[in-house]
Each structure stands twice: as C-alpha cells, then as structure tokens.
Amino acid sequence: MEVALNPGAFVPDRACYSFVRELEEVAAGIGKLAGADPVRATALYETFLAGCYEKAEEVDDSSGSFGQFVGELICGWIKARQASGAEADETAAILLARMDDDPYGFCCQIEKDAAQAFDKAGLAAFERQIQARFEAATTAKPAPGKALGHEPEYLLRHWSELLRTVYLAQKNLAAYIALTSRTGVTAGDCHAVATMLVARREPDEALVWVERGIAIDREHPHACTTAGYHLTALHRELLARLGRGNEAIAAAWADFRKHPGKYSYDELMKFVPKSERTAWHERAMDAAKGDDLHSLIGLFRETKEMKRLAELVRGATDEALEQTSHHATEPAAKKLEKAEPGLAARLWRAQGMRIVNKSKSKYYEAALTNFERARRCYERAGLGAEWADTVRHIRAAHHRKTGFMPGFEALAADRGQEGEPSFLERAKTRWGVRHGRDVS
C-alpha cells in the first residue's frame, strides 16, 4: 500500500493514470479479502483511504481519475463493513461525516454510488439520517457571518437532492413524490418518477409525468441539465409502447429535421417499421441540411453515404472545415482517401490548419502528420498546385512558429513523386533486393 502511494513523490497529471492503476491493484487485493475476512478488509480499506487523503496534495488530479478511485474505495469500504456485521447506522454516520468534511471533493456526489453499495438495511439507515438533516434544514434560520455553504437554503437543497437519490435507489415512488410536493417539481424529478412508473408497468401514468417534465423543461430552456434529452427519448418510447407509434415517428422526424445527425437519425429509425426504413432513410438523407458540418459529416459517414459526404465536403469552405472538430473530419478523410483523394486532402489540411492557427504547440506533431497525409492525397489527385498554395500560405502566416516550421519545412522539401522515390517505392525496392526478385 505504501509502495503504491509512494509518499513524498509528486504525481503529475501525465503520470496519474498509471499511478491510479497501481492503486487499483492494491484495492483489488483488499476486495478479494473482504469475502473471507471482512473485518480485516474494513481496516485495510480505512488505512488505504487515510493514505489517499494524505497523498491528495501530492497528486495533480486534473483528469479526476484519482478522485474517482477514492470514491470506489469508499464504496468497497461500505460493502466490507456490511459483510463484517457492522452497525448500519454507524456506517451511514461515518460516511455522512466524511461528506461534510471533504476538502478534496472525493465525496462529491458519492451518494449515487453509495446508494448502490449499501444493502437494504444500510440504505434505510442512510435515508433516516439524511431525512433528519433535511427536516432540521427546513426549520433552520440564516445565521449572521456563516459561509454560504451553511445557509439553510443551500442545506435544504443539498439534503433534498440526497433524499431524491436514495428514494430513487429504493424505488420509493410515494416518498419521492411526497418530497417534490415540499420542494417543488423539476424536469429531473419528472423523469425519475416516470422511470419508476415504467418499472412498475404503468406506462400511462409515466407518460403524464414525462409530458409534465417536458413542459417544465421548456419553461427553463437555459437550465444546465440533461433531463430534457432523457424525457424526450422516454416520451417516444412510451408513445410506441402505448400503440401511438405514428406520434413517436412524427416527434423523432421533427427532431431530426431540426438537428440532423447520427444520433437523431438512429432515434428516428428506432421507431420506423422495418418495411419502411429504406424510404425513410432516403427521406432523411434528402432533408439532412444545415450549417452543422460536424453532425452532417458524421451522419453521412456512419450511413455510408459517400457521395453525399463528398458533396458536403466539396461545398464547404476551407474556413468551415478548419472549424470542424477532428473527431468528424479525420474519419471522413480516411473514408474518402481512395475514391476522392482531393477532398480527403482538404480534410487533412483543415485538421493541420486548425492546430497551427490556434498555436496548439502540444499537437504540432499531429499537425505535421495531417499535412503529410494532405500532401500525399493532393499528389494522388494531381493537385500539386493546391499543396504548393498550402505551403506558401503556411510560410507567410506561421513563419514565426519555431516549434512547428522546421518540421514543416522538412516536409515541404520532400517532393514525393517529383523527387526522391516514395516510401512505398523504396519499400518495394528494399524487399526485392533482399529476396532477389522484382516486386514492381
């Protein structure tokens, strides 16, 4: 345990992943012990947790992987305590005390995972103690000089959110609805209640709550939640389940036309009958228009509409392609390299320019790789002039970027087909010489 934590040594962000992997190996050993000797496993978990808190200031956890590991360790501790026969109320009290005193944020939203780690008795104890804190917050009054985090309004909201998590884990529909009558109903509440009603096979009631949630979400269009997305998806599923498939298709079609892309396409086709999918596919492809290149490129690539993809890239400006994420342009470039090398070259060029224009020096090597592939595609398409224009533009606009230009100049100096033999030609020659035969 001490060897894995390596006290005194700072762990930079780039090394955090491998550091956490070693910690996970230690945790796995404790987890195996929990079945045979849960008392000892509990003590080891507590020691390990103490070590992690001590190590916290020596770790650059920008990725969040160390914090996630500590959360998993806490859940392992809960299970070990339960297996050892420890008092459920004591376990819940210790966890809540740790949540109250959480300087490194390791317990942020731990209640979601903890609710799954607790057994029935443990979850009931957790619920009782949260309920007591919630009731205390309802009668508390603001105290002068207190920090904002201790104000009754904040505490009321905090404990009510924890209660919601517990009630959802318990599938306690009545308690959840009763809580919303005291605190107000949100779109997220409507989705939670609807999912519980679906589990109870009450789709009609679930649909009422879903439609209520959608209405609430529309009243607060700028709320930073995913409830609206989940409610919309559940709404269509319930319509289909209730024999109102045409309404589900109409809703999915309206969403696709508003936001054409791979996900809205898949959602539409989920509800279209198999016999009608070909016609709906063509209809969707014809309607797929707009300024969102990222989504349209992904849609045409995933649906293997290569001609439409080529037309889309051909009609886009260089500036628009450069503003599109490489998550869309790179796979598209690979798909187009054989059939449309000139268009693939534009996509590779756009990825390189995106990096260089934003001076992302960390990714200059990737940019050089992109430009190399662009050059090869330009040459294959017989568009050497376009590559020459790219070289001139980069030299004029980015000549001061000393971390990038030497590598680019080396790339530009390699004239490929016009000068030295290509990589493939050199490889064929080498293979033929070594094996005494002509491989041309």
Instruction: Give one DSSP letter per residue of 279-327, joined into a string.
Output: HHHHHHHHH--SS-HHHHHHHHHHTT-HHHHHHHHHHS-HHHHHTS-HH
Orientation of helix 110-117 relative to helix 65-83, angle to 10°: 30
Token reading at 107: 């317990």
What three-state secondary structure class fits 11?
Answer: strand
* 317 and 323 Cβ atoms separated by less than 8 Å: no
Give the model's confidence band at 59: pLDDT under 50 very low, under 70 low, under 90 confident, else very high.
very high
What three-state secondary structure class fits 59?
Answer: strand
* 347 and 328 Cβ atoms separated by less than 8 Å: no
Give, in order, the Cα–Cα distances in Å from 287 to each of 268, 321, 383.
Answer: 13, 21, 32
In a domain, 156, yes or no: no
* 137 and 159 Cβ atoms separated by less than 8 Å: yes
In a domain, 307, yes or no: no
* 222 and 256 Cβ atoms separated by less than 8 Å: no
Q: Specify the pLDDT at position 145.
A: 55
What is the C-alpha to C-alpha distance for residues 286 and 111, in angstroms, rounded to an integer? 47
In a domain, 134, yes or no: no
What is the C-alpha to C-alpha distance for residues 63 and 356, in angstroms, rounded to an integer? 25
User: In this predicted structure, which of 135-139, 334-338, 383-387, 397-401 has the lowest mean pLDDT?
Assistant: 135-139
Percentage, residues of the chain above pLDDT 70: 92
Number of domains composing the chain = 1
Percentage, residues of the chain above pLDDT 90: 87
Long-range contacts of 176-185 (CB under 8 A, 24+ apart): 182/138, 183/156, 183/157, 185/212, 185/216
For the chain, give percent helix, strand, coil, nearest 5. Answer: 75, 0, 25
Give per-residue pLDDT as tens, 305-344. 999 999 999 999 999 999 999 999 999 999 999 999 999 9
In a domain, 368, yes or no: yes
* 169 and 115 Cβ atoms separated by less than 8 Å: yes
Q: Specify the pLDDT at position 416.
A: 42
CB burial of 199-229 (b: ≥16 within 10 Å; e: otherwise) equals eeeebeebbbbbebbbebbeeeeeeeeebbe
Q: Is 25 exposed, middle or buried (0-12, 13-18, 19+ CB in 10 A)?
A: exposed
* Residue 4 scores a pLDDT above 70: yes
Give the model's confidence band at 191: pLDDT under 50 very low, under 70 low, under 90 confident, else very high.
very high
* Residue 418 scores a pLDDT above 90: no
Q: Specify the pLDDT at position 362.
A: 92
Average pLDDT, the chain: 92
Q: Specify the pLDDT at position 417.
A: 40
- Residue range 211-222: mean pLDDT, rounded: 90
Place of tokens 């308690």: 175
* Residue 427 scores a pLDDT above 80: no
DSSP state letters, 135-168: HHHHH----TT--GGGSHHHHHHHHHHHHHHHHH
* 6 and 53 Cβ atoms separated by less than 8 Å: no
Q: Specify the pLDDT at position 268.
A: 97
Give the model's confidence band at 143: pLDDT under 50 very low, under 70 low, under 90 confident, else very high.
low
In a domain, 395, yes or no: yes
* Residue 183 scores a pLDDT above 50: yes
Q: Specify the pLDDT at position 440.
A: 53
Q: Specify the pLDDT at position 423.
A: 63
Terminal C-alpha separation, the chain? 60
Give the model's confidence band at 438: pLDDT under 50 very low, under 70 low, under 90 confident, else very high.
low
Range(s) of the domain holding residue 381? 318-440
Long-range contacts of 191-200 (CB under 8 A, 24+ apart): 191/227, 191/230, 191/231, 191/234, 192/164, 192/168, 194/231, 194/234, 194/238, 195/234, 196/168, 196/171, 197/173, 198/234, 198/238, 199/171, 200/173
Give per-residue pLDDT as tens, 97-139. 999 999 999 999 999 999 999 999 999 999 999 999 999 988 8
Give the model's confidence band at 226: pLDDT under 50 very low, under 70 low, under 90 confident, else very high.
confident
- Residue range 178-194: mean pLDDT, rounded: 96
In a domain, 94, yes or no: no
Kindly report the number of other CB atoms within 10 A of residue 338's CB atom.
10
Residue with the larger pLDDT of the pair 151 and 191: 191
User: In this predicted structure, which of 4-13, 137-146, 188-197, 365-374 has the lowest mean pLDDT?
Assistant: 137-146
Partnered with residue 11 across adjacent β-strands are 59
* 44 and 26 Cβ atoms separated by less than 8 Å: no
- Residue range 171-179: mean pLDDT, rounded: 97
In a domain, 167, yes or no: no
Give the model's confidence band at 379: pLDDT under 50 very low, under 70 low, under 90 confident, else very high.
very high
In a domain, 261, yes or no: no
pTM for this structure?
A: 0.76
* Residue 411 scores a pLDDT above 80: yes
Q: Specify the pLDDT at position 435.
A: 57
Give Cα 74 distance to the centre of its chain: 23
* Residue 419 scores a pLDDT above 80: no
